[in-house]
Structure 1
Amino acid sequence: MPPASPPPTSAFSSDGTQGDSANLQKLIDVKGEPIALTGLGNVLLSDADTQIVGKLGIVSQQNQSQLTTATTIRSQSEDDWKSTSAVNTDEEAINLMEFQNMYQANMKVIAVANTLFESTLQMFN
């Protein structure tokens, strides 16, 4: 008969004896130990993932808000630029017609003044 193999040992045992769960207890205790995380400070290992996900959610929401604000500001700036640099052809056509009418009216005033001046000169001759 072959020699009896030793009974399997559990990884949870610290010294290999059956029923010993010292390593398991150490693993359980680790989750209650505080760890230092950048931006969060000292947190329990069991709470670290929840706090990291929460912090990422907050930062993501802030970034989305800042992107919306930046997009709005850019859009307003582009609209302001377009309103000051764009040429409205309809408005320019109306202005051109008004200037033409003013020119014609001034020409009539000059023609009347010229006629009056000539009439005045003829009276003295």
Structure 2
Amino acid sequence: MGTNHRPEAVKRAPPAAQAPGHGPYSPVIEVTPGRIVVISGQAGVGPDGKTVGADIRTQARITIENCAMQLRNAGCTLADVFKVNVYMTDLNDWPAFNEVYAEMMPHPLPVRTAVETRLLRDFVVEIELWAVKP
């Protein structure tokens, strides 16, 4: 019987970290030095290369799943992520995005930045992640 023991956490939110009224992110994260893994921006693309969904919730879920897959390829999980950059075509979709994000991202939540911009194809969200390898 094997165990999935993970080494001691390499990221943590300092005890005094707080941001009044903030969303699903940490205002500050401390990362133990180690190997950094960065993935290129991911979007809601299925295995066939076609965009999955047109709404923010569907694309956010597929995009985060694609991010998790890329992290697995590098020996990491979403729990190892310490920095997230989110690019969206419409920041009015931010509350709906946050619902999906909060459901899928483990604690302590990474620090995060969001920007409204035009994106390639018919994407409504693109996500870039930085992780520290355990």
Calculate the TM-score normalised by the size of structure 2. 0.16
Work out which structure has the larger RCO, using CA pairs closer than 8 Å and 6 or more positions apart in sequence.
2
Larger Rg: 1
Structure 1-normalised TM-score?
0.18
More helix by share: 1
